[in-house]
Amino acid sequence: MRKIVTLMVVLAIALPALSQAQLEGTITTSSPESFLTYLRDRQKPALISKLKLTDEQAEKVIEVQVWVAPYLRKITFDMPEEQKKSTTVFLDEEKKKKYKAIPLSDEKVEEVIQFYANMLKNKSWPDGETSLLKQ
């Protein structure tokens, strides 16, 4: 009995530390600024090389992604299904408006949208890492 209690105490102390260590490798960051820095490091080079965006355009595309991230998290967890659909359509339209205001051509806007869609579909970053979450 004593061994079981000891094991439970050790696990109670160790599990939060292990969980925190796993979270440090995810795309979840504590502030919009740190999220922006993270995306600059991970996505900006690919936006420039694959989509032939300028440095300034890539920067603004990433800023749009940072802008939309909290809304997307809220859709995932807090909304009924019907509201998720309407909000997603609204956010897609707003992202397109923001992309065009960078300014990007209609063709480039579609390329950016496809770039992010492929990232999500393949669950990989543009730098070839196989998972959006570091292992």
| CA 83 to the chain's CA centroid | 21
| CA 134 to the chain's CA centroid | 13
Please count the CA atoms within 13 angstroms of the CA of 102 that sit on its side-chain side: 24
Secondary structure (DSSP) of 17-39: HHHHHHHTTSS--SSHHHHHHHH
Closest listed residue to residue 124, CA positions, set 52, 45, 43, 62 = 43
According to the model, what pLDDT value does residue 79 have? 78
pLDDT, average across residues 34-60: 93
1 confidence band (pLDDT: 50, 70, 90): low
**Cα gap 54→43, rounded to integer Å:** 13
According to the model, what pLDDT value does residue 13 have? 52
DSSP state, residue 67:
H
Say if residue 16 is preceded by a cis peptide, omega within 30 of 0. no
Closest listed residue to residue 97, CA positions, set 74, 64, 50 = 64
According to the model, what pLDDT value does residue 78 have? 72
pLDDT at residue 52 greater than cutoff 70: yes
Q: Where are the domains of the chain?
A: 28-122
According to the model, what pLDDT value does residue 25 have? 46
pLDDT at residue 135 greater than cutoff 80: no
Under 8 Å between Cβ of 112 and 5? no
Under 8 Å between Cβ of 109 and 64? no
